Amino acid sequence: MSGAATAPLIALRGIRKRYGGQDGAPAVEVLRGVSLEIGAGEFVAIVGASGSGKSTLMHLLGCLDRPSGGSYHFAGQDVATLDADALAWLRREAFGFVFQGYHLIATESARENVEVPALYAGMPAAARQARAEALLRRLGLGERLDNRPSQLSGGQQQRVSIARALMNGGRIILADEPTGALDSASGAEVMALLGELADAGHTIILITHDRKVAAQARRVIEIRDGAIVGDSGAAGGAAAAALAPLDLAGAARDSGAALGAELRDAARAAWRVMWINRFRTGLTLLGIVIGVASVIVMLAIGLGTRQQVVAQLGAFGSNLLYMSSVGESSRMPGRSITLADLDALAQLPGIAHVLPNVTGNKVVRHGKLDVQTYVRGTGAALPQIQTWPLAHGGFFSERDEREMATVAVLGWRLARKLMPDIANPVGQHILIENVPFQVIGVMSEKGALTGDKDEDDLLLLPFSTAGVRVFGQREPTYTVLAVDDVARIGAAERAVDALMFERHRLRDYRISNAAASIAAQAKTQDTMTVMLSLIAAVSLVVGGIGVMNVMLMTVRERTREIGIRMATGARRRDILRQFLTEAVLVSVVGGVAGIGVGVAFGALLLLWQVPVIFSLSAIGGAFGCAVATGLLFGFMPARKAAALDPVVALAGH
Ligand code: ADP
Ligand code: MG
């Protein structure tokens, strides 16, 4: 590009701009072959009546729009060959726009408005703030740094927009009717400012319908009905004072804003917009809040209930097999299940305990009180394998079993009936069939644990003692086998069956277990949890649609802001990122609120004795879903914003 040094800064050849022509609207040619050269450092006024095409021309000059025909060379480079990112770079580095309507971002302070172009150029925050402040001071707005546009006069707003145009250097200032909305004094001030900038070497292209204003420029170009009808010609000598030329190769190296800084700024801007629209945003967020909260509560209840079911079933004996004799052989000594069988079964892998039981109804006496009750001779491991703790004293031991000790443990209700006046029955003696037994313990209330109240009437004795001294039989009535691993209870059952069949050669015994029904119950519980979670997930989706709705509204309301950001150099991906950040921030706020509500509600349920177990993974998962929902549903509005045409967006309301 050897011509770049000598080529004029701006060269238009036969530029045409046509509007309409589609969907029935008649095509209007707004610019009809404009040819024009502007050198670096010139101060040019383009003057013409309203509707003559001045603004259209300015948009083309500022790379906010593309011509329908003709060519535009900027510093020797054909602009038509540049992609959207390179055009954004050019707007950011080469141009500074000043509009009739100021076009400041209403939610940002004066200083923040001035900082916007530097943000997209990737200037560090501290330098950015310092430069914006210095520019505003230079333009006499040192006292107004933190004012919003609505708190500034028209003249002050226009000075803020000039400061913004200068933020990235402002080599070429494109001013479209900059005094149009100002009173004459403010207008004169702005014109004086532009004159100073021209003296300092900035190229100024001023657009106006006012000949008196135009006359203050060094060169006046007249436009009528989309064609140039007069040009006073370039004033010599101005180019000498021009600013250093722009290195166009920079567009290729452009990395734009630093990701972190831009995200921070986007989050800050998003927070401000959310705060301004807090009522609307809050209502929309309800969907996400309810979604996240219900996922957390549902899963917590599901988990809590499941745990309770499992605990109850554990107390019922989910890991237990029950074996008893059947048919005639059950009454035939030596043919029924024997202690030798049980010894053999105890050797099987996977069998943790073998508990022989002998049972029957007996009258138990304490003092003068007789109580008819169910007596069970059993093994020392009973409290352990039935998860049935003692309320008082201890349980009998293996040694009591071997030595046929005359000791007894009372069920909770039996103790009440037998010794209503004795708080702790341990140490008392009772009589069964005239044999004295010493009470060594009382079981805890089984009814409270499992609802199985009958067991609270039991009298428990060592198996050997009960068999020999109470029932007169050595063989167990039934046997309880505890397996190591609940998951493998089926295999254990088959192994027990195989061994018993080998020893007996016929099936004179029956084996049963509760595991199948337990598994079914747990499964029902899981299905419930899944169903409830699905409902919660649906409300998350509803929340996501709410986010999409609020984001679409935001994009609509802030179309002009998007245009301003694009005019000051934001690339499409910067706009995309900003609105995605907003969507995510909205859902993060919703997610956090949802966690708060969910945990609070769960805590309330706990107070009402509802079994609730919070799981970190459920909370994290619900939060992650909320953020993902925001990303997913925010993407469409964000892309819509990014796809806006700069000129269309600027004209937007
Ligand atoms: P000026 O700035 O000189 O007042 P503009 O460049 O804004 O004029 O507009 C020139 C003509 O182009 C006007 O007649 C206007 O109606 C028309 N025009 C501008 N923008 C569009 C558009 N997007 N679609 C159709 N017509 C347009
Ligand atoms: Mg105009």
Going by alpha carbons, the residue nearest to atom 14 of ligand 1 is 51
Task: Kindly report the protein residue whose alpha carbon is nearest to atom 15 of ligand 1.
Answer: 51
Q: Which atom of ligand 1 is nearest to 57's Cα?
A: 6
How far apart are the C-alpha atoms of 61 and 225, rounded to whole Å?
18
Q: Would residue 337 count as lying in a domain?
A: yes
56 Cα nearest atom in ligand 1? 6
C-alpha span between 647 and 634 (Å, rounded): 24
Q: At what angle do helices 154-166 and 184-199 cross, to 10 degrees?
A: 20
**For ligand 1, atom 16, which residue shows the shortest CA distance?**
51
Domain boundary among 211, 245, 279: 245
Please check whether residues 214 and 286 belong to one and the same domain.
Answer: no
Q: Which residue's CA is the nearest one to ligand 1's atom 22?
A: 19
What range does the domain containing 410 cover? 319-513
Q: How many CB atoms lie within 10 A of CB 421?
A: 5
Instruction: Give the pLDDT score at 1.
Output: 41
Tokens (6 digits) for 40: 């670096």
Q: What is the mean pLDDT of each run of 10 residues along the chain (653 residues)?
A: 63 92 79 93 94 94 92 92 89 92 91 91 89 93 93 93 93 92 90 92 94 92 93 64 66 64 78 81 84 86 77 66 75 70 90 90 90 92 86 93 93 90 90 92 77 78 92 87 81 90 86 68 72 78 82 86 90 88 87 93 88 86 86 88 89 73
Q: Are residues 562 and 463 in the same domain?
A: no
Residue 401 and residue 430 share a domain: yes
Which residue CA neighbors atom 5 of ligand 1 most closely? 53
Ligand 1, pocket-test mutation among 23, 30, 100, 228, most atoms within 8 A of CB:
30
- For residues 472 and 535, membership in a common domain is answered with no
18 alpha carbon, closest ligand: 1
- Same domain membership, residue 135 and residue 6: yes
Residues 339 and 478 grouped into a single domain: yes
Best mutation site among 22, 56, 650 for ligand 1 pocket (most ligand atoms within 8 Å of CB): 56
Q: Which ligand is nearest to the CA of 177?
A: 2
Take atom 27 of ligand 1 and give the residue whose Cα is closest.
19
Q: Any residues with CB less than 8 A from the CB of 513 and at least 6 apart, and which?
A: 320, 321, 322, 489, 493
- Asked if residue 532 is part of any domain, the answer here is yes
Pairwise CA distance, residues 377 & 468, whole Å: 10
Of 494, 513, 532, the residue at which a domain comes to its end is 513
Distance, CA of 572 to CA of 554 (rounded, Å): 17
Instruction: Note the helical H segments in 211-324.
Output: 211-214, 250-253, 259-276, 278-316
* Type of residue numbered 215: A
* Predicted pLDDT at 115: 93
Q: Count the residues in the chain.
A: 653
Measured by CA distance, the residue closest to atom 2 of ligand 1 is 55
Classify the C-alpha dihedral 195-197-201-205 as positive or negative: negative
For β-strands 435-443 and 429-432, DSSP reports them as: antiparallel
pLDDT, residue 373, reads 92
Say whether both 507 and 531 belong to one domain.
no
d(CA 160, CA 624): 41
> Is the domain of 383 the same as that of 342?
yes
Q: Which residues pair with 392 in a beta bridge?
A: 442
pLDDT of residue 364: 93
What gap in Å lies between CA 620 and CA 154, rounded to an integer? Answer: 50
Q: What is the dihedral of CA 562, 566, 570, 571, to 10 degrees?
A: 100
Cα of 392 vs centre of ligand 2, distance in Å, is 96
Domain assignment present for 253: no
Nearest-5° Cα angle at 478, 475 to 479:
95
**pTM recorded for the entire structure:** 0.67
Does residue 157 share a domain with residue 276? no
- Say if CB 219 and CB 57 are below 8 A apart: no
CATH number of the domain to which 116 belongs? 3.40.50.300
Name residues contacting ligand 1 (CB within 6 A): 19-20, 28, 30, 48, 50-56
Residues 487 and 616 in one domain: no
Q: Check whether residue 293 and residue 332 sit in a common domain.
A: no
Cα 219 to Cα 204: distance, rounded to the nearest angstrom = 10
DSSP percent split of the chain into helix, strand, coil, nearest 5: 50, 20, 30
Question: Which bin fits 169, alpha (ψ -120 to 50), beta or left (φ > 0)?
Answer: left
Rg (alpha carbons) of the chain, rounded to whole number: 44
Q: Is 124 helix (H, G, I), strand (E, B) or coil?
A: coil
Q: Which of 513, 537, 558 is the last residue of a domain?
A: 513
pLDDT reported for residue 270: 80
Note whether residue 508 is domain-resident.
yes
Number of domains in the chain: 3
Is residue 262 situated within a structural domain? no
Residue 429 placed within a domain: yes
Tell which atom from ligand 1 comes closest to the C-alpha of 52. 3
Smallest-distance ligand from the CA of 61: 1
Residues 168, 287, single domain; the answer is no
Residue 291 lies in a domain: yes
Q: Does residue 347 lie within any of the structural domains?
A: yes
Instruction: Give the model's pLDDT for residue 34.
Output: 94
